[in-house]
């Protein structure tokens, strides 16, 4: 049985949830007529290589939430880094005015 992630747990995953649609190659399968097989995957980059991890539908909402958590944390970190750069620039400008 799949383990459910607690709603308040800070679970993060970098990547994107995508639906793959493909033919299996069996001559008598329904996909031959265009009714393609669908699989949900997490697409992510690991050491420069794209990895696809199958995601069962029972965990799809949890994985989507983990991806959203990562993106939110990344935005917050980027915002903090920009604020830090702005503080540094102000400090450097003050130092420059003192020395000239």
In the chain, domain spans: 16-99
How far apart CA 52 and CA 65 sit, in angstroms, is 18
What's residue 4's pLDDT? Answer: 56
Strand order in the sheet with 49-54: 16-22, 37-46, 49-54
What's residue 8's pLDDT? Answer: 44
Give this prediction's pTM.
0.74
Give the sign of the dihedral formed by CA 55, CA 61, CA 67, CA 73: negative
Residue numbers in the chain where pLDDT is lower than 70: 1-10
Two structure tokens written together for 6: 């607690």
What's residue 9's pLDDT? Answer: 46
């Amino acid at each position: 049985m799949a383990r459910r992630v607690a709603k308040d747990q800070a679970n993060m995953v970098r990547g994107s949830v995508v639906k793959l649609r493909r033919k299996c190659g069996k001559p008598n399968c329904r996909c031959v007529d265009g009714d393609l097989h669908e699989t949900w995957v997490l697409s992510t980059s690991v050491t420069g290589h794209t990895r696809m991890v199958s995601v069962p539908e029972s965990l799809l909402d949890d994985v989507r939430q983990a991806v959203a958590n990562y993106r939110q944390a990344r935005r917050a970190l980027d915002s903090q880094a920009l604020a830090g750069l702005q503080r540094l620039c102000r400090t450097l400008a003050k130092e420059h005015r003192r020395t000239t």
